[in-house]
Amino acid sequence: MSPAAIVLAPGLIHHPGRLDAAARERLAAEVAELLAAAPPFIPRMPRTGKPFSVRMSNGGPLGWVSDEAGYRYQATHPETGRPWPPIPPLALETWAALAPDAAPPEACLVNLYAPDARMGLHQDRDEADLSAPVLSLSLGAPARFRYGGLSRSDPTRSIRLEPGDAIVMGGPSRLAFHGIDRILAAAPDLLAETESGPPFLPAGWRCNLTLRRVTAPCVPRSA
Ligand SMILES: O=C(O)CCC(=O)C(=O)O
Ligand SMILES: [Mn+2]
């Protein structure tokens, strides 16, 4: 049975150990297949063009990209020009289990963190539909995840995210500020897994998937 969920804030739920070792292995194989079709690219900051420290790819009808022209979702890979491959099936199954009332996700952003990579405090707000949560799944090295409130200046807290952990950010926390302070060393019992992980994830690297609903689903009009 998966361990109990922890409510970090209203709508911000941490599911430690949601994916057991077999599920992590299956998800890693699915992500390897995704990355073979859509190789990681290095996103750049809007305007300045400064490269991110995180490498990215996507699955699904839409993918999140960033470059001098700004943040956006688009249907094709910025370098290959090809459509994104499908969202990993295990990630879709986890969405159905943890976000049963939401419309299906349209984007699965894959973040690859080298040991010195980080992601600054931000909101996920490029989606037209904010009624669905964002679902995050982690593989590889652990990380320090920081979260706060709806204003950048609100107080923040942090937790350690382990491989196999899921986070659901929805409801009143859908627009909560969050980020990754740093990548951490694996605990002894998970060291072997992070050091001999799938070839797309070198030792000490972390992979995070975020599933997002991007467009507002059509709502049938009542008579
Ligand atoms: O890597 C993580 O856990 C968070 C990723 C994230 O916030 C994002 O991709 O917007
Ligand atoms: Mn985010």
Please state the rounded mean pLDDT for residues 204-220: 91
Classify residue 218: in a domain, yes or no. Answer: no
Residues with Cβ within 5 Å of ion ligand 2?
Answer: 124
Nearest to 138 by CA among 214, 193, 189: 193
Residue 129 lies in a domain: yes
Q: Which ligand is nearest to the CA of 71?
A: 1
The one-letter code for the residue type at 104 is: P
pLDDT score for 187: 79
Q: Angle at the Cα of 122 (from 185 to 81), degrees rounded to 5?
A: 90
Instruction: Kindly give the distance from the C-alpha atom of residue 109 to the centroid of ligand 2, in angstroms, as a whole number.
Output: 10
Q: Is residue 190 part of a domain?
A: yes
Query: What is the rounded CA–CA span in Å between residue 194 and residue 163?
Result: 9
Residue 66 lies in domain: 6-212
Distance 123 CA to ligand 1 centre (A): 10
The answer to whether residue 217 is domain-embedded is no
Q: Does residue 168 sit within a domain?
A: yes
User: 40 alpha carbon to ligand 2 midpoint, in Å?
Assistant: 18
3-class state of residue 96 by DSSP: helix
Q: Which helix (H) or strand (E) holds 29?
A: helix 21-37
The pLDDT value recorded for residue 1 is: 47
* Residue 45, domain member (yes or no): yes
Does residue 1 belong to any structural domain of this protein? Answer: no
Instruction: Kindly state if the Cβ of 205 falls inside 6 Å of ligand 1.
Output: no
pLDDT score at 88: 98
Let me know if residue 219 belongs to a domain. Answer: no
- Dihedrals φ, ψ of 195, to 5°? -90, -25
Cα dihedral 104, 23, 197, 81, rounded to 10, equals -20
pTM of the model: 0.95
AA letter at 32: A
* Structural domain count of the chain: 1
**What's the one-letter identity of residue 207?**
C
What CATH number does the domain containing 207 carry? 2.60.120.590
pLDDT digits (tens, 9 = 90+) for 3-36: 699 999 999 999 999 999 999 999 999 999 999 9
Integer Cα distance of 51 and 117 in angstroms: 11
Q: How far is the CA of 208 from the centre of ligand 1 (A)?
A: 7
Q: Which ligand is nearest to the CA of 210?
A: 1
